[in-house]
Structure formats: C-alpha cells, structure tokens
Amino acid sequence: MSFTIHGLPVSQGIAIGHAHLVSHALLEVNHYQIAARHIKAELERFDNAVTSVEAELLNLKASAATAQPHSEVGAFIDLQRMMLEDPVLVEAARNKIKEHHYNAEWALVQQMESVVEQFRQIEDPYLRERKADVVQVVERLVKALLGDPGPLPPKRKDKFGTVIVAHDLSPADTIGFRDHIAGFITDIGGPTSHTAIVARNLGIPAVVGLRHIRNLLRANELIIVDGTRGIAIVDPDESVVEEYMLRRASLELERSKLKRLRDTPAATLGGEIIQLLANISGPQDMPQIKDINADGVGLFRTEFLFIDRDTLPDEDEQYEIYRSVVKAASGKPVTARTFDLGADKTLAGSSQSEPNPALGLRAVRYSLAEPKIFLTQLRALLRASAHGKLQIMIPMLMHTDEIEQTLTLIGKAKEELREEKIKFNEKLPVGGMVEVPAAALALGMFVRHLDFLSIGTNDLIQYTLAVDRGNESVVRLYDPLHPAVLKLISSTIQAAQRAELPVSVCGEMAGTSAYTLLLLGMGLRSFSMHPARILEIKQQILRADLAEITPKVQRILKLDEPARIREAVEKLGG
Ligand code: PEP
Ligand code: MG
C-alpha cells in the first residue's frame, strides 16, 4: 500500500530507489529461539563476543593512556570492563540463553533493560547515570555478535537506485555509502547536522527526521525521496513514479541551464564582484569545483580524512592530500580548516563518554588536547603551503589562549621544518572561525591575532539559540533569522571590515538563496558553500541591487519580531 511520510528536507533533488535497511545495533536486535542442540555453540558465540570486547576496551585504554595520560578516560573504560565481569549482566544473560533458549543478542538486550531499570531507581544521580555505561557495553557486545554490517547491495541494474533507510547515519556512514546510493532517509537528524551537510556535498537527495520510517519499511520496497519537499513516498503507484521521473528530468534541465553561468563573473547589478568559494571534504570534490569555476575553497573540512577509518593518517599521507587539493585549485585560494573532531564527528573506536559532546572536547579544544596529532596536521599543511595559495583556519575559537596556543604550535611546526630544510610558505595566513557567540561578541581579540575570519553560521545558530543542530525534536527552534543571530552575523562582518580583515560566511546560510540578499545587505562580499549551490547563488547575485538592498537590510536589523523579520527578508527579492 502506498503512503507518504513527511520529514525535513536536508538535501535537494529526487531519488527513486529500492530500500536498503541499515541496522542499528540495539534497536534492531533479532529475537529468536535457539534449538537445544545449538545452545552450546550460542554460548560460545556469546563468550567470544565478551572476550573480543574485553580486548577492544583494553586497547582503547592503552591508546587513551598514551594520548591523555592524566585524563579520566582510563577509569571510565575500567568501569565498563568491570561490567563485562558483572554476573548481573553477563551471567544472567548467559542463563537466558541456557534456560530460555534466547539468541545471544536478545538475551543481552533483555538483561540490559532490567539492569537499566534497576539503575533508574537509584537516588544517587552519579550512579543513576552509570546506566549509560551499561548500554554502551551492551552495544559493543551486540556489535561484536553481529560482526561486520556486511557489504552494501551491489549497484542495481534496473532504472532505480538504492535508498538507504536508517534510524540515523553518522557522517562516516554517509561517506561510506557515497558511491552506491541514490538517496537516504532517516528517523532522526536535523538540516545542519554534519550528516545532512555531507549528503548535500555529495549531491545525494535526503530527508531526515521521519520518526519511525525504519520500522515502517520492508527491504527492497520502492521509495521516492523528495529532498526538496522533505517527503518520502513508499510503494508509489506507477503514475506517481512517472510524475517523479519527469520532475527529476526537469530538475536536471534546470541544473544544466544554470551551468551556463559558469564563466559569468559573480557581479551585482552595480558591478561589485562577490567571491564565491566552495566547501569541500577532500580532493574528490575538486573536479566539481572546476566544473562550476568556483573562486577557490573557502572551507576544507579536513576532519573527514580522520573519520571512517581505523588508523590516523600520518604526516605524509595528509601532506599528499593537502597538496593535491592545493594543486587542483590551480592558484586559487584554499582554506583548510584544522580538524573539527568531537561532537558528531568522532574517530573510529573512540568512546563517547562526554555527556554534552557539542559543548565538550570539540574542534580546536580537541586539537589542543591532542598536540601530537595537531602538530602532525600543521606540519603537513605547512608543507602543502609550498605548492599554492593555502591558508589555515581554526574552528570554534572562543578564547585568546586558544589562538595563542595554536599560533605557538604553528611556530613550532615551522621551526622544525626550517631545521629539516623543508619548504613552506613563511607567511601562511592563519584565520579563525566565528561560530561561538563569545567569539562574535568579543571579536577584538580575534582581529588582533588573525589574518582572516569566517563565520560558521551552523554552529553560531546552534550555540546562540542553545538548539542542537542535529536534533529533530528541536529543529523548529533552529532559526537563522532570529534577531540575535542576525545581530551577531552583522556585527562580525562590520567589525572585520573596520579592521580590514577579510571575512566570509561558510555555514549553510551562505548557500541558501533565501538569505543571499540579506547577507549582501549586511556587507558580506565572500560566500563559501557546497559546490552544488554556487551557480544558484550566483544567479541571485546577478540580480542584486546593493544600493537598494543595503538600507532595507539595515532596517531589518532593527526589527525584533521574528515574523516581521521573515516577511521583510522575503520581500528583499522584490
Ligand atoms: C559552521 O558551523 O557553520 C561550519 C561551517 O562548520 P561545520 O558545519 O563543519 O561545523
Ligand atoms: Mg562549525
């Protein structure tokens, strides 16, 4: 039976394909009973999983001890190891296999639920929170039992592709699926979650926040993903499929018309040239940048070299990657952001022990806590700077100390390279991202130390409004037009210009055509966005009359009623 379900449109376009259901270790555990003659083998399977998780935790502890000798991570890992020996969890689950003939995963999850319930009754808040450790240990055990998730389906030969259907996808999963899929839909997520950004960068239509879609679908069912309207149509009638195939073709036609703007300078009606840069996640994006003739790379999210793999890239591997991006840019500027790890972008095998990861050890904080990894990246970037117009950008700066420490590390990397007689650009510009309200409000300290600024509106909105950008239950509160957000963006642009410091916007607002005139009216002259958005934004710029827009935007900045702001922004286009 055909039905339509509404979610959040996060990556435009239309995908038509067969569902490939991706499992979620704890939510997807199969329940079945084991024949008496297989109980021994099932117990062995269970014991092997316990042994392998034990080894995994020991490894994690060893690497945590080297990286952060004085941190508490080791103690947390020990706590989880103790749980592996706790009869209330492990022996009781074994008994469920022996006595009730449950399969190992089912036995574990059942026992986990009863242990978690006992924890919930505890008064002491610290102990009560330890239920998260139980869940994490069981998740590891279930993953060990399930083994590798298995290969993706081979590329389909019929006219339809594959649509990934998941409870949630991490950015790493999304990248892993990149070559195989027509689109994806998920139960949870928000429009500026990193997964959504990756989908847009890869040009994969996607709808998130569909709540229980994962449970409503059967494998292989035909689905239409309308990433523009934010809907998924399950088991569509033939006529609907045909209609969508036509719409897909007309979208492709529109896209090819925009391609004619490739070599047109991005000039406003008054002739002011606007810089249009691209956001990339690796060298694989560079051909697309050539295709659309972007003015360079305004944001290279280097952390994507670190995730979706088991080992860290060494200096030479990073150097080759940075060099290939710089070379492919053919003399145009490339802004490499030092790795923004933490929050939803974590290294393989790292344990998520932070209660509030978005407010925790993320971005530059993480880099400074891991100086060895940071220095390796800085050396690789400096070496690549010898081959073109590279500049370094530091994410999530909040305090002068972070700038000073980073500049000291850059100085150290330079010193080492000089001693080793390795070439690099002595004058490599170093800039910072303004993505925390504190940075926008105390911009003086940044202006003094840095060569350029870039406003990361995705995080700036998240942190200004205290709204998790990846959480679909608060997505309606995530408002780029909130007066506080507009004031912070506008004052940052003004202050940077007063200090004659180049400033751009590299968050999703820069690639959203509804905000182009608004940002131009605030004085912005440099935009960085996913390459797929550049030509459409150029089209907006070609129609923009700055003399008319600028005073209107100044009036909008004085408004404080969200509805009136929205209305006035819509009217900017005439
Ligand atoms: C931002 O926060 O706006 C930004 C560009 O960085 P990211 O989306 O990678 O956090
Ligand atoms: Mg950010």
C-alpha 489/C-alpha 521 separation (Å) is 12
Amino acid residing at 176: G
Interatomic CA distance for residues 153 and 381, integer angstroms: 37
Helices and strands in the chain: count of H runs, count of E runs: 23, 16
3-state SS, 248-307, equals HHHHHHHHHHHHHHCCCCCECCCCCECEEEEEECCHHHHHHHHHHCCCCEEEEEHHHHCC
If one residue of 299, 435, 460 were mutated to test the ligand 1 pocket, choosing by the most ligand atoms within 8 A of its CB, it would be 435
DSSP state of 158: S
Whether 506 lines ligand 1, by a CB cut-off of 6 Å, is: yes
Q: How far is CA 294 from CA 166, 512, 536, in A?
A: 34, 16, 12
Beta carbon of 190 within 6 Å of any ligand 1 atom: no
* Gap between the Cα atoms of 150 and 405, Å rounded: 43
Give 457 Cα–ligand 1 centroid separation in angstroms.
7
Q: How far is CA 10 from the centre of its chain?
A: 12
Residues in contact with 476: Cβ distance below 8 Å, sequence separation at least 6, in sequence order: none
Contacts of 125 (CB under 8 A, 6+ apart): none
B/e letters for 524-557, b = 16+ CB within 10 Å, e = fewer, are bbbbbbbbbbbbbbbbbbeebebeebeeebeebb
Residue 395 CA: nearest ligand 1 atom is 6
Q: Distance from the CA of 197 to the center of ligand 2, in angstroms?
A: 11
506 is catalytic: yes
Find out whether the beta carbon of 459 lies less than 6 Å from any atom of ligand 1: yes
Classify residue 566 as exposed, middle or buried by CB count within 10 Å of its CB (0-12, 13-18, 19+): middle
Choose which CATH entry (3.90.110.10, 3.20.20.60, 3.30.70.260, 3.90.480.20) describes domain 267-570. Answer: 3.20.20.60
Distance, in Å, from the CA atom of 347 to the CA atom of 221, rounded to the nearest integer, reads: 33
Element (H, E) at 243: helix 238-258
Please work out whether the CB of residue 456 comes within 6 Å of at least one atom of ligand 1. yes
C-alpha distances in Å from residue 22, one per residue of 100, 174, 177, 232? 29, 11, 11, 17
Residue 301 CA to ligand 2 center (angstroms) comes to 10
Give the residue among 527, 508, 532, 512 at the shortest CA–CA distance from 454: 527
31 catalytic per annotation: no
Selecting among 167, 387, 506, 530, the annotated active-site residue is: 506
Q: Which residues contact 351 (CB under 8 A, 6 or more apart)?
A: 60, 73, 76, 77, 80, 136
Q: Which class for 493: exposed (0-12), middle (13-18), buried (19 or more C-beta within 10 A)?
A: buried
CATH code at 3-22+151-241: 3.50.30.10
pLDDT in tens, the chain (574 residues): 789 999 988 888 999 999 988 766 665 667 778 888 889 989 999 999 999 888 888 877 776 666 556 556 667 778 888 888 888 899 999 999 999 998 898 899 888 888 888 887 877 766 766 776 787 788 788 878 876 444 455 666 667 889 988 877 766 566 667 667 899 998 887 777 777 877 887 778 999 988 888 778 888 899 999 998 999 999 999 999 999 999 999 988 888 889 899 999 999 999 999 999 999 999 989 999 999 999 999 999 999 898 867 788 999 999 999 999 999 999 999 999 999 988 777 776 565 567 888 899 899 999 999 999 999 999 999 999 999 999 999 999 999 999 999 999 999 999 999 999 999 999 999 999 999 999 999 999 899 999 999 999 999 999 999 999 888 788 889 999 999 999 999 999 999 999 999 999 999 999 999 999 999 999 999 999 989 899 999 999 999 999 999 999 999 999 999 899 999 999 998 7
Residue 27: how many other CB atoms lie within 10 Å: 12
The answer to whether the CB of 197 is under 6 A from ligand 1 is yes
Query: Of 305, 309, 330, 307, which Cα lies nearest the Cα of 319?
Result: 305
Mutational test site, ligand 1, from 304, 506, 512, max ligand atoms within 8 Å of CB: 506
Are the C-beta atoms of 216 and 295 separated by less than 8 Å? no
Same CATH topology for 3-22+151-241 and 267-570?
no
Atom 8 in ligand 1: residue holding the nearest Cα: 458
d(CA 369, CA 366): 5
Q: What does each C-alpha distance from 44 to 41, 191, 198, 386 come to in angstroms?
A: 5, 44, 40, 57
Residue 241 CA from chain centroid, whole number: 31
Number of Cβ atoms within 10 Å of the Cβ of 334:
27
Mapping DSSP to helix (H, G, I), strand (E, B) and coil, where does residue 412 land?
helix
Q: Which protein residue's CA is at the shortest distance from atom 4 of ligand 1?
A: 456
Spacing, Cα 339 to ligand 2 middle (Å): 11
Establish whether residue 507 lines the binding site of ligand 1, counting it when its CB lies within 6 angstroms of any ligand atom: yes
Q: Which fold has domain 25-146?
A: Enzyme I; Chain A, domain 2 (1.10.274)
Residue 367 has which token pair? Answer: 């880099």
Residue tagged active-site, from 167, 194, 387, 482: 194
Quickly list DSSP for 454-515.
Answer: EE-HHHHHHHHHT--TT-GGGGGG--TT-HHHHHHHHHHHHHHHHTT--EEE-SGGGG-GGG
| Secondary structure (3-state) at 199 | helix
The per-residue pLDDT for 385 is: 98
169's CB contacts (< 8 A; 6+ apart) are 22, 177, 184, 186, 189, 195
Q: List the domain boundaries for the chain.
A: 3-22+151-241, 25-146, 267-570
- Is 516 in contact with 540 (CB distance < 8 Å)? yes
Cα 527 to ligand 2 centre (Å)? 15
Q: Please, what is the Cα angle at 420 between 414 and 422, to 5 degrees?
A: 70
pLDDT at 103: 87
Instruction: Please report, in angstroms and rounded to a whole number, the separation of the first and last CA atoms in the chain.
Output: 44
Q: What is the 3-state secondary structure (H, E, C) of 295-325?
A: CCEEEEEHHHHCCCCCCCCCHHHHHHHHHHH
Q: What is the 3-state secondary structure (H, E, C) of 10-51?
A: EECCEEEEEEEECCCCCCCCCCCECCHHHHHHHHHHHHHHHH
Torsion angles phi and psi, residue 207, rounded to 5: -130, 130
Looking up tokens 């039992």 gives 145
CB 115 within 8 A of CB 88: yes
